[in-house]
Amino acid sequence: MSELRTLVIFGAAGDLTRRLLLPGLATCLAAGVPERGIMLVGSGLDEREDFAAVVQEAFAAELSEDQLALPAVRHTIDSARWITADATDPEHLAALLDQVEGPLGLYFALPPSVTMLSCEALSRLHDSGRLPQDTVLVLEKPFGTDLDSARDLNSLLAGFVPEERIFRVDHFLGLPGVLGFVGLRFANRILEPLWNREDIERIEIVFDEVLGLEGRAGFYEATGAARDMIQSHLLQVMALVMMDPPTRFDGVEIPANTAHVLRATRLWSGDATGESGGGTPAVVRGRYTAGTVDGRAMPSYVDEDGVDPARETETFAQVVVEVDSWRWNGVPVVLRSGKAIGSPRQEIAVVFRRPPHDYEQFPSSGPQPPDVLRVGFEDERIDLELNAGGPFDSRGMTRTVLSTELPEPGLTAYGSVLRWVLEGKTAFTVRGDGAEEGWRILAQIAAAYASGQVPLQDYEAGSAGPASAGLDG
């Protein structure tokens, strides 16, 4: 696939573009991709004169003076322009396409319902021969709003664009810890032979945040923690961590192997009230009350503007799932994300089984704590917790941590996402069936909520989340 020449962002007046896409693009260009820069087009319903200035400002906030002066960066800023268009109107889209040079990428930074309408309009342009063959589509999460709408969108897309030109992006796959996991598993001998139900006791994938609602009620009220974080991000990360080894790191094998994991995934024992092996309840949901997080007073979620308390939107969700395959059957996987959490954990923790024999002579009585591998999502940290010492050691048993920090990647998570888009590499994107599986699993969580057996629990902002969630890290 040839490198993109133009990137059009639909919904470019929105928060995602300013806060994440433009800084990400800046880091990507500074890393030399694409070498000649990109023609960037912002598009939205309203006229805008200042798009190039917005790009300049976002790039300047992210890059050094030297990086800003790079020819690819300058070219991208200087050629940035705005095209006013209704992305759901085929005639507006046709007029936009007439004004840009291909190969072309269309980035939908739009709500899912609008993305669907826009793809319908593009499909009509395709049918009338007015959509260039090599157009690439980039779709943000959420991909659809439930299983049916994700299926509809997939079949619509399949009718006019091949899978290798569709990027269902998930920026968590661009976070440093997740990027590093590939080499950690597959470039070493010591982990992969243990990567199975015989040697791993449980896996925890936790992304708790200090941030609360931050004025996003319009989006979050209809979403909640499970839909926002588990349906997409945490399940995709889980699939990557637990997939079978691919024979190649490409857009055929990785999306296939991750979809295979998701197909085998179900709620722990299919019972929301059941407990996993470690005593963790299968489903927990919570909502924060007023408190102090990181020295900042935070109002109760229900007192935020635009919140309807009766809607019972959860700001914390924790589920235990099982990947029911030969490799993973019986291993609880805890997926958890909460807002307004004090001292939040953001990591993938792999807890190994204990050795088969407990020595009476070990100075501390009872079984030794398990070995744990921890990989931070954002902080480039890798820790391996092990036991050392013993009966002949005057220090007794010692818990040791082999700890290292990888260098910063230079690209933000969105920088990596955009790099893959611009280079045409779909290995770290979500395949159509992978997106549908996320919604199938979410429906099991929603059914657990609806069963009345999983009460919405209050937790104080700044606390560690609902007490009954029972994860202490």
Ligand X SMILES: O=P(O)(O)OC[C@H]1O[C@@H](O)[C@H](O)[C@@H](O)[C@@H]1O
Angle between helices 147-158 and 112-127 (to 10 degrees): 20
Q: What is the dihedral of CA 175, 179, 184, 186, to 10 degrees?
A: 150
- Pick the closer one to ligand X by CB: 286 or 424: 286
- Got the DSSP string for 105-146? EEEE-S-HHHHHHHHHHHHHHHHTT-S-TT-EEEEPSSSSSS
- Pick the closer one to ligand X by CB: 82 or 377: 377
Close Cβ partners of 39 (under 8 Å, ≥ 6 residues apart): 5, 6, 7, 76, 79, 80, 100, 101
Q: Which of 62, 228, 314, 322 binds ligand X (CB under 6 A)?
A: 228
Cβ-based burial of 234 (10 A; exposed 0-12, middle 13-18, buried ≥19): buried
- Pick the closer one to ligand X by CB: 413 or 430: 413
**Shortest distance in whole angstroms from residue 209 CB to ligand X:** 6
Contact between 413 and ligand X by CB under 6 A: the answer reads: yes
Binding mask 378-407 for ligand X (x = CB under 6 A): ------------------------------
Binding mask 17-46 for ligand X (x = CB under 6 A): ------------------------------
- Pick the closer one to ligand X by CB: 73 or 413: 413
**Shortest distance in whole angstroms from residue 76 CB to ligand X:** 23
**Shortest distance in whole angstroms from residue 446 CB to ligand X:** 18
- Pick the closer one to ligand X by CB: 145 or 368: 145
Q: Which of 209, 275, 458, 460 binds ligand X (CB under 6 A)?
A: 209
Residue 427 and residue 251 in contact, taking contact as beta carbons nearer than 8 Å: yes
Residue 41 half-sphere exposure toward CB, CA atoms < 13 A: 24
Q: Residue 317 is encoded by which pair of tokens?
A: 């969700």
- Pick the closer one to ligand X by CB: 180 or 246: 180
Measured CA to CA, the distance from residue 77 to residue 81 in angstroms comes to 9
Contact between 208 and ligand X by CB under 6 A: the answer reads: no
Contact between 237 and ligand X by CB under 6 A: the answer reads: no
Residue number, nearest CB to ligand X: 228
Three-state DSSP at 265 gives: strand
Binding mask 107-146 for ligand X (x = CB under 6 A): ----------------------------------------
Backbone angles phi, psi at 301, to 5 degrees: -55, -45
**Shortest distance in whole angstroms from residue 435 CB to ligand X:** 15
Residue 146 half-sphere exposure toward CB, CA atoms < 13 A: 6
Question: Nearest to residue 427, comparing CAs of 158, 179, 139, 157?
Answer: 179
Long-range pairs for 350-357 at CB < 8 Å and ≥24 separation? 350/200, 350/203, 350/241, 350/374, 351/200, 351/201, 351/202, 351/203, 351/204, 352/194, 352/199, 352/200, 352/201, 353/198, 353/199, 353/200, 353/201, 354/201
Measured CA to CA, the distance from residue 225 to residue 207 in angstroms comes to 11
- Considering only residues 351-380, where is the footprint of ligand X by CB under 6 A? none
Q: Please give the helix or strand (H or E) that residue 168 lies within, else none.
A: strand 166-168
**Shortest distance in whole angstroms from residue 378 CB to ligand X:** 7
Residue 208 half-sphere exposure toward CB, CA atoms < 13 A: 25
Long-range pairs for 364-370 at CB < 8 Å and ≥24 separation? 364/396, 364/397, 368/397, 369/399, 370/201
CA-CA distances (angstroms) from residue 468 to 178, 230, 240, 282, 296?
A: 28, 19, 28, 11, 25
**Shortest distance in whole angstroms from residue 72 CB to ligand X:** 25
**Shortest distance in whole angstroms from residue 411 CB to ligand X:** 13
- Pick the closer one to ligand X by CB: 90 or 434: 434
**Shortest distance in whole angstroms from residue 214 CB to ligand X:** 8
**Shortest distance in whole angstroms from residue 372 CB to ligand X:** 23
- Pick the closer one to ligand X by CB: 52 or 150: 150
Measured CA to CA, the distance from residue 62 to residue 449 in angstroms comes to 41
**Shortest distance in whole angstroms from residue 106 CB to ligand X:** 20
Measured CA to CA, the distance from residue 419 to residue 27 in angstroms comes to 9
- Pick the closer one to ligand X by CB: 27 or 88: 27
- Pick the closer one to ligand X by CB: 169 or 203: 169
- Pick the closer one to ligand X by CB: 93 or 430: 430
Number of residues binding to ligand X, judged by CB under 6 A: 4
Q: Residue 66 is encoded by which pair of tokens?
A: 């030297």
- Pick the closer one to ligand X by CB: 141 or 263: 141
**Shortest distance in whole angstroms from residue 222 CB to ligand X:** 12
**Shortest distance in whole angstroms from residue 198 CB to ligand X:** 34
Q: Which residues are near ligand X by CB under 6 A?
A: 209, 211, 228, 413
